Every structure is written in C-alpha cells, then in structure tokens.
Structure 1
Amino acid sequence: MEPLHAFFILLGGLWAGTINSVVGSGTLVTFPILIALGYAPVMATISNAMGLIAGGVSGVWGYRRELAGMRTNLLRLLPASVLGGVTGAWLLLHLPASVFGVVAPFLIVLALAMVILQPRLQRVLKARAEANNGIPHPSHNIVMVLLVFLAGVYGGYFVAAQGILLVGILGIFMSGTLQNANAVKNVLSLAVNCVAAVSYLLFAGDKIIWAVVGLIAVSSLVGGLLGSRIGRRLSPVVLRTVIVLLGLVALYFMMAKLVNA
C-alpha cells in the first residue's frame, strides 16, 4: 500500500470514528475514500465495516457515563438489535443490494423526521403516561423494541446511517435525555456491527483487506474517543442540528447512488 493511500485511509477512519460517536453514518466518509483509492466495492464495504468496530468500542467507552441508569433499556433492546443484525446479515447473503438501496433513503427521511419532531412526540407520550398514573403505556415499549429490531435488520444489511435511525427511535420512546439515547445507540450499533463482522469472517474471509481493516481500526479508535468528548458537550438543540445535517448528507449520497444506478 502506498504511503499516501494509507494517510487518506487513516484520515477517513479518524473522521468516521468521530462522527459515529456523535451521530453515526461514518461509513459515508470511509467507503467513498476506499472506492476512490481503487478498492472493489464489496471488499471496501466489508473491510471498512470491520475496521470501524474499534471506533464503536471507544465510542461506547467515551459515553459510559450517559449509560448510567440505562441497564433496563439495554437488556430490553440489545437482544432485539442482535437478532435484527443476524437477520440483516442473512438477507445480505440472499437478497440483491438494490433492495435496500431503494428503501434506505425513505428510512433516513423517516428517521430525520423523528429526530426533528422528537420534543413534541416525547411530550405526547409523557402526557399519555401521566394520564396513566405516570406509567408508560405497554405499547410504547413494544413499538420501541420492534423498531430497534428493524433498525438492526437495516444495520446488518446496509450498515450506513444506522445510528441516525436509532437516535430517532430512542429519542422518542426511551426515557432519558438525547445524550442517553446517543449512548445506547452506540452500544446497539456496535452489537449489530459485531454480528456483521462475524458473518464476514465466516462467509467472506477472502474479501477482507486486513491492511485497510488495521488502518481504519487504529484511526477510528482515536476518533471514537474524540467524538464522545465532543458529542457529550453538545446541547440537545445543537446535537439535534448536527444529526439532521449529517442525515441530510447521508440522504444526498444515497439518492445520488440510486439515481446513478
């Protein structure tokens, strides 16, 4: 590998790890870099996803304070995410990529609408809970688990911008702040990415470029810590704005890819 190529991959991994901790969609940074450097799309996708796991680990560690009190939610949602990731990985081996390529932009639009409307929707759910003696309606938890499962399916299959979907879901249905939702999002995204990585090792080991994996892993590990330090200091309004802006960037790239397909 040429030194200049290694530099660009390291730089992309650092930026991807940073924004993954804050929002998600880091793949939209590293994947285009790998393609521009001449790597085959499938190999770039697989190697990139495996490398970014390190950034996911550091992002979870960086947000560990915001995970306090989230144990019940994690126990409820982690199995749904893992099962969704397994389902998505299975679909990856049996369905053409064009299926989710068409669906993904609509999911991103839905997620962005949920993020934008989150304060209003949370007030509606809180009012319903107060009318029920402060106890959330059982259907809220059921809907949240189902949506997290579907986000896991999306993440196991398509990977990019999974975090935006999860923040939109958790920000509305999960008790706590937007920062708590972001911390839980990091855990769930990491779980799905690990499931995808295991499937790659088992079924696509010959398509893994280990030099790329190593470079992205090292730089995204640093980026994950950097992103968590930045993200934890953002106010809810600023964090929501960052999520929406990056979501629009993700939507642009997805729509451009769909139009040019």
Structure 2
Amino acid sequence: MKPSRKPRAFLKWAGGKASISEKICRRLPKGRLLVEPFVGAGSIFLRSNYDAYILNDINPDLINLFKCVANDVETYIQDTKTFFNGEYNNKETYYQIREEFNQTTDPYHRSVLFLYLNRFCYNGLCRYNSKGIFNVPFGRYKKPYFPEIELRYFAKKASKATFTCLDFEEVFRTLPDDAIVYCDPPYAPISPTASFTSYAKDGFSAEQQEKLAHLSAMAALQKRIPVMISNHDTPFTREIYEQARLVFLKAARNISQKKDKRKKTKELLAIFTPESQAK
C-alpha cells in the first residue's frame, strides 16, 4: 500500500467506520492492547496503532475469513481474484454461488465465497435469516472492486491480532487488565419502527444494548478499563449511556446505492472511564 493512502477495510460493511475512523481513533486512550468485541470490517483496527489486538465478532464467517487471510494472504488472493473477471457478475451465477456458500461447511471455501458475496451482493450487506442462511440479494454493480491491496495490508497488520468468535459478554468477562475497549455493536434503531440490524442470525436486541452499557460501566469502575461505544444518537442510547461522557458525531451512512440519497446520521461515542464512574 502506498504511504499516502489511508488503510481501508477489504470488506464493504453496513455501519462501517471508515468515514469517521480518524475521529474515533483520536479519542481512544493510549495503551498496549485494543479489544474490539464487535470488530466488523475492522476499520478501527486498521487505522489505530496498538502493539496488540483482540478482534472478536459473533459472526463465525467473518472471523473465519479474517483467519484465512491472515494465514496465507497470497493463496487467498489467488483463489478469490478469479471471481472478479466479469464472468461471475450476473444474477444467475450470484444466486448459485450464494446457494453453494449456504451448503458448504468447508471453512476455507466459505471464506473465499464470503468475499465474493460481500462484493457482489446488494450494498455489501451481511444478513442471515433465522436458520443462519445468508440471504442478501444480488447487487447489480457494473464492475465490483477486487481489494487486493487492502487484503495484503490487513494480513500484514493481522500479525498483531488474535481473532475470537465469542458473545460480547464473554469478551468482557475475559478482558485483560491492560485492555482498552472499543465497541461498535449493531446500532439501536433511529425510530421505534426500525429494526435492529441482523449481522448474525440472532440479531441484537434492546436488552443486549442495555447489557453492553452496563458491562462497559462495570469494566471502567471495577477493572479501571476504559470503554468506548459507538451508536446512534437517540433518546434510548442517551438514557442507557447516562454514566458515560458523550461525544456527538455525524457520519454518512451508505443505506442507498445512489450517492445523492445517502444522508448523514447523528451518532454518539459513549466513553466510560474510571474517572467518569467515580462521580
């Protein structure tokens, strides 16, 4: 990767932090180890500078993909690049490959197909039904981008990372004493009629949002571990983060394929520190 180019995630990801990653990283405390219970595409991992990382996500396909890329990126590039020659960019082939992905249990083969689906599906969504079946429709892009540069950069930096696939509560139970935590959970809905995003088959409920806020406050109070959480700025999130210091941001959300229909949404950073919990 050229020195002048900022590192980007190799996955498209709904709710990804690429556009505001620098603002977030500036507010992260200094330290040795960054723990991300909801790593997503990894924008904060790629833009931050720590000696070590614990990168976790409840989505097993995502963590499996990261491990495969970290293990042998050159072989992975060779095996995935063939899908980006134009032959596979049609609706019929996409649905055949999606079905193949949903049927196979081979970890490496799933990782290869996962990148294809991510780049060719509608808006880079990652969505599963209640049975764990990936069900995002075809995206109809003229020429999906193959992220070769981004894959190599990720693999190089992954030498600092440990990848885990655990529930966020388990991550908090096993936090090292010198950890700094950044959480990017599936966001709370902007309105009462909106639904929580289903990155994994079981989704993410309001109760889980509240549990995450409680665990963050306890980590800061009892273990003196600072925790930062990103979320929508809503009455609900302001209430559950009342024990944190709040920082407000605006971020572009790529909800629509058309750039002129993409709007900025109000977001917040809830920052739990030992000092804030001592009030």
* TM superposition score normalised by structure 2: 0.31
Higher relative contact order (CA 8 A, sep 6+): 1
Report the structure, 1 or 2, having the larger strand content.
Answer: 2
Higher Cα Rg, which structure: 2
TM-score, scaled to structure 1: 0.33
Whose helix proportion is higher, 1 or 2? 1
